[in-house]
Amino acid sequence: MTETPARTQIADQAAYAEAVRTAVEAAAAYYGEGDSPLDDDAYDRLVRGIAAYEAANPGHVLPDSPTGKVAGGAVIGDVPHAVPMLSLDNVFSAEGLENWAAGLERRIGRPVAVWCVEPKLDGLAISARYRDGRLVRLVTRGDGAAGEDVSHGISLITGLPARLAEPVTVELRGEVLMTRAQFENANAARTGAGHPAFANPRSAAAGSLRTLYRDYEVEMTFFAYGALPLEGTDPGLAARLGELPHSQIMGLIAEWGAHTTADTPVPGVTCTELAEVHQQVERIAGARATLEFGIDGIVIKADLAADQADAGTSSRAPRWAVAYKLPAVEKITRLVGVEWNVGRTGIIAPRAVLEPVVVDGSTITYATLHNAGDIARRDLKIGDHVTVYKAGDVIPRVEAPVAHLRTGEETEIPVPDACPRCGGGIDDSQKRWRCAKGRACHAIASVRYAVGRDQLDIEGLGENRIDQLVAAGMITDFADLFTLDRDRLLELERMGEVSTDNLLYAIAIAKTRPLSRVFCALGVRGTGRSMSRRIARHFATMDAIRAADAEAFQQVEGIGPEKAPVLVAEIAELGPLIDKLVAAGVNMTEPGATGPAAAAPPEDDGQEDGGRAEGGPLAGMSVVVTGSMSGPLAELTRNQVNELIERAGGRASSSVSSKTSLVVAGEKAGSKRAKAEGLGIEIVTPEEFAERVADHL
Ligand code: IVH
């Protein structure tokens, strides 16, 4: 984040007039149909450029300039707001926040006693009027003085109950947005009904709220961030709303039954020190990528009514609150192509090739497109402008085409009719297409995976060597490694006596790896390292795994009714490979595991896996590891750390939730650490953790 954010350079009056016209059009589209041709970042840059030009040329300001106006002056409505719906001033850095806070404290002549820190929800502002506890009217912000009546949307919004728990007459203010899931569903329903997709959740919410009639279903979510008295509000309540701190008003709203952020991983919190405010800003920013809904910043407010009253408001925004803007995680760019790649299990996955665009600090050139059905559902075309989303370490994804930017030059995305790797047939019976040859299509990738550090860990078997062995016809799968002939190896280029014997030794060691690693090496779709460990510990032997039906697999934590039958089918498909491994003498048991017969008693509801070490310093704990490891753990792979957790009696998990007992956070720990802090979960350094589990290292 920079202190002086980038702005469009405007050289002369003609460029200025053009910039004003573009901004006014974009604001009208944004607040109208919700489909602005500029993304938020580009719009902000443009308006900052306009403001800079106006500051230097005050005599040449155009009357329709968007600067200093709520909603860029774009919208006028016909339902007046009793109290104007204002905007917020922005800061872009910790320093900007410090300066703003110092200015506020100077203005009120004392330190701000309590701060409130909340997520800035990325939707549209709504006023919801309740009479005697019944929701009677819904009005958009409009130009701040008057908005549009969108009461027809009342039934579409969760979190905004038709009836409150108490018969209060009150106006709730908050944000209406679509969660990721609501957006996906809305777009599926909308494109299914033959309409163009919404470009992003925000425009989907804006567009849907303003639509009177539609032939498809949508759902939105409301989060309140304020409450005001209305005409007819009980004087006692009106007085309380004028006197209570903001944080307590939020508590009241939640008691009435409307949504606030209290039930999300980023609830609003109060702080008494500015240093703590900065920490909370970091915490919310860190959790951004994990949230179900979009946030575009953090709002910092003076909590006490007296501080707010003394600060007052400008014509545009309150002086007691500010938005700490976060960089945009959604950008518009062009889809220039689609690649179809074959993975190690034979899955044929499409990948979007984009005109490079910087999103959340990194340049994005590729984004996931999931599968062919998904492309059709999103109605994507080559040449389309598309919205791309990326936050934190999530895989970038294409959300939707920006339909109104189409020129007619766009072309259909070519869909392969043969496997792009081997030219053979495609099995398109499932959502995710697969080469009809399955794993055999990309044997080299399967072998590479199988010998990897977290699987069989065969040293000296790099990519080139595997390619060489496959090309020489000596292996077709990784089971063939265990029957390699020394003399034939010696005939290969760059294979002397020493390297041959070293390789054969490493392969012999690999035969003795625990079942969890051998199973992982199979590369069963839908199982990674930790799932393989759970399966191996639960069943204890490969025979038991092969004998298990879908129901038996569901006894393993993390395997539900959808995944279980896929596993059964995959393991059956891998039967010949497993037979070869058995014949070659590869270990097929998990040390220390006793199998399902000795598993936990029924009241354990199947949530625990049977073979985990009994007792141990982490008994009963769910542990998440994040960031880079240091100290005694520095040399361990993530998989080895997870194995260590399980040896010490704990359960390794990859995501933080309220069920997490402990987080091991190393350097560069990001959103997981922030989420754990938010949930009040114990966090330790790798060194502290190593001490706790020293006996199991
Ligand atoms: S307080 C006087 N709190 O951001 C305005 N606003 O850019 C007081 N917003 O118009 C608003 N999350 O629509 C507030 N936690 C939050 C918010 C929030 C999102 C929106 C709101 C406002 C806009 C300003």
What CATH number has the domain bearing residue 65?
1.10.287
For all residues of the chain together, what is the average pLDDT? 89
What average pLDDT score do residues 401-430 get? 92
Confidence of residue 59 (pLDDT cuts 50, 70, 90): confident
Question: What confidence score (pLDDT) does residue 156 get?
Answer: 92
Residue partners of 614: CB distance under 8 A and separation at least 6: 649
Residue 523 has pLDDT above 70, yes or no: yes
The CB density around residue 526, as the number of other CB atoms within 10 Å, is 13
Question: What confidence score (pLDDT) does residue 1 get?
Answer: 38
Question: What confidence score (pLDDT) does residue 43 get?
Answer: 86
Confidence of residue 605 (pLDDT cuts 50, 70, 90): very low
Residue partners of 549: CB distance under 8 A and separation at least 6: 568
The residues lining ligand 1, judged by C-beta closer than 6 Å to any ligand atom, are 86-88, 118, 120-121, 125, 175, 225, 299, 318, 321, 323
Residue type, 546: R
Confidence of residue 655 (pLDDT cuts 50, 70, 90): confident
Q: Are residues 369 and 472 in the same domain?
A: no
For 266-278, what is each residue's pLDDT tens digit?
A: 999 999 999 999 9
Asked if 683 and 673 touch (Cβ cutoff 8 Å), the reply is yes
Report helix, strand or coil for 631: helix
The residue among 462 and 71 whose pLDDT is bigger is 462
Confidence of residue 610 (pLDDT cuts 50, 70, 90): very low
Pocket test for ligand 1, best of 121, 202, 319 (most atoms within 8 A of CB): 121
For 214-261, what is each residue's pLDDT tens digit?
A: 888 899 999 999 999 999 999 999 999 999 999 999 999 999 999 999
Residue 596 has pLDDT above 90, yes or no: no
What are the φ/ψ torsions at residue 434 (nearest 5 degrees)? Answer: -145, 145
For 488-506, what is each residue's pLDDT tens digit?
A: 999 999 899 999 999 999 9
Question: What confidence score (pLDDT) does residue 41 get?
Answer: 83
Q: Are residues 189 and 69 in the same domain?
A: no
Look up residue 189 and give its two tokens: 């329903």
Look up residue 623 and give its two tokens: 């542990």
602: in domain: no
603: in domain: no
Q: Are residues 376 and 320 in the same domain?
A: no
Confidence of residue 600 (pLDDT cuts 50, 70, 90): very low
Question: What confidence score (pLDDT) does residue 599 get?
Answer: 42
> Which of residues 59, 74, 89 is at a domain's end?
74
Pocket test for ligand 1, best of 126, 143, 296, 299 (most atoms within 8 A of CB): 299
Confidence of residue 463 (pLDDT cuts 50, 70, 90): confident
The residue among 403 and 435 whose pLDDT is bigger is 435
For 175-226, what is each residue's pLDDT tens digit?
A: 999 999 999 899 889 888 888 888 889 889 998 988 877 888 899 999 999 9
Task: Please give the number of the atom of ligand 1 that sits closest to the Cα of 226.
Answer: 1
Look up residue 684 and give its two tokens: 């330790």
User: Distance, CA 189 to ligand 1 centroid (Å)?
Assistant: 30
The CB density around residue 615, as the number of other CB atoms within 10 Å, is 9
User: Distance, CA 317 to ligand 1 centroid (Å)?
Assistant: 10
Catalytic residue among 120, 301, 331, 675: 120
- Per-residue three-class SS string for 442-477: HHHHHHHHHCCCCCCCCCCCCHHHHHHHHHCCCCCC
Question: What confidence score (pLDDT) does residue 35 get?
Answer: 67
User: Distance, CA 459 to ligand 1 centroid (Å)?
Assistant: 56
91: in domain: yes
What are the φ/ψ torsions at residue 604 (nearest 5 degrees)? Answer: -75, 0
- The per-residue b/e assignment along 73-96, b for 16 or more CB within 10 angstroms, e otherwise, is bbbebebebeebbbbbebbbebeb
For 86-138, what is each residue's pLDDT tens digit?
A: 999 999 999 999 999 999 999 999 999 999 999 999 999 999 999 999 999 99
437 assigned to active site: no
Find, among 678, 363, 401, 343, the residue nearest to 526 by Cα: 343
Question: What confidence score (pLDDT) does residue 34 get?
Answer: 58
Task: Please give the number of the atom of ligand 1 that sits closest to the Cα of 88.
Answer: 24
CA 110 to CA 31: how far, in whole Å? 38
What CATH number has the domain bearing residue 635?
3.40.50.10190
257: in domain: yes
Confidence of residue 608 (pLDDT cuts 50, 70, 90): very low
DSSP string, 26-65: HHHHHHTTS--SS-HHHHHHHHHHHHHHHHH-GGG--TT-
Residue 606 has pLDDT above 50, yes or no: no
502: in domain: yes
648: in domain: yes
Look up residue 262 and give its two tokens: 């209290």
User: Distance, CA 676 to ligand 1 centroid (Å)?
Assistant: 26
Helix, strand, coil fractions of the chain, as percent rounded to 5: 40, 20, 40
Q: Which residue has the tokens 């006894």?
A: 555
Pocket test for ligand 1, best of 30, 81, 83, 120 (most atoms within 8 A of CB): 120
Q: Let me know how long the chain is.
A: 697
Kind of pairing between the strands at 157-158 and 220-228: parallel
CA 400 to CA 396: how far, in whole Å? 13
567: in domain: no
- Alpha helices per DSSP H over 548-650: 550-553, 563-573, 575-583, 638-647
> Which of residues 74, 105, 122 is at a domain's end?
74
Report helix, strand or coil for 254: helix
* Percent of the chain scoring above 90 in pLDDT: 61
Q: Are residues 187 and 297 in the same domain?
A: yes
Q: Are residues 104 and 202 in the same domain?
A: yes
Q: Are residues 399 and 473 in the same domain?
A: no
User: Distance, CA 364 to ligand 1 centroid (Å)?
Assistant: 30
Question: What confidence score (pLDDT) does residue 70 get?
Answer: 62
Q: Are residues 106 and 246 in the same domain?
A: yes
Q: What is the dihedral of CA 218, 222, 228, 232, to 10 degrees?
A: 40
Residue 60 has pLDDT above 50, yes or no: yes
CA 584 to CA 625: how far, in whole Å? 36
**Residue range(s) defining the domain that contains residue 161:** 80-325
What average pLDDT score do residues 322-332 get? 91
Asked if 621 and 661 touch (Cβ cutoff 8 Å), the reply is yes
Lowest mean pLDDT among 31-40, 335-344, 359-368, 555-564: 31-40
Q: Are residues 406 and 457 in the same domain?
A: no
Q: Cα–Cα distances in Å, from 216 out to 81, 156, 161, 203?
A: 31, 12, 22, 16
Q: Are residues 92 and 203 in the same domain?
A: yes
CA 519 to CA 613: how far, in whole Å? 19
Q: Are residues 151 and 174 in the same domain?
A: yes
270: in domain: yes
CA 609 to CA 596: how far, in whole Å? 9
> What pTM was computed for the model?
0.63
Q: Are residues 279 and 380 in the same domain?
A: no
What CATH number has the domain bearing residue 380?
2.40.50.140
Question: What confidence score (pLDDT) does residue 115 get?
Answer: 98
Q: Are residues 411 and 313 in the same domain?
A: no
In terms of Cβ atoms closer than 10 Å to its own Cβ (0-12, 13-18, 19+), residue 583 is exposed
What CATH number has the domain bearing residue 244?
3.30.470.30
Residue partners of 604: CB distance under 8 A and separation at least 6: none
Number of domains in the chain: 5
Task: Please give the number of the atom of ligand 1 that sits closest to the Cα of 119.
Answer: 15
Task: Please give the number of the atom of ligand 1 that sits closest to the Cα of 261.
Answer: 15
> Which of residues 448, 481, 510 is at a domain's end?
510
User: Distance, CA 174 to ligand 1 centroid (Å)?
Assistant: 7
Residue 601 has pLDDT above 70, yes or no: no
Question: What confidence score (pLDDT) does residue 58 get?
Answer: 81
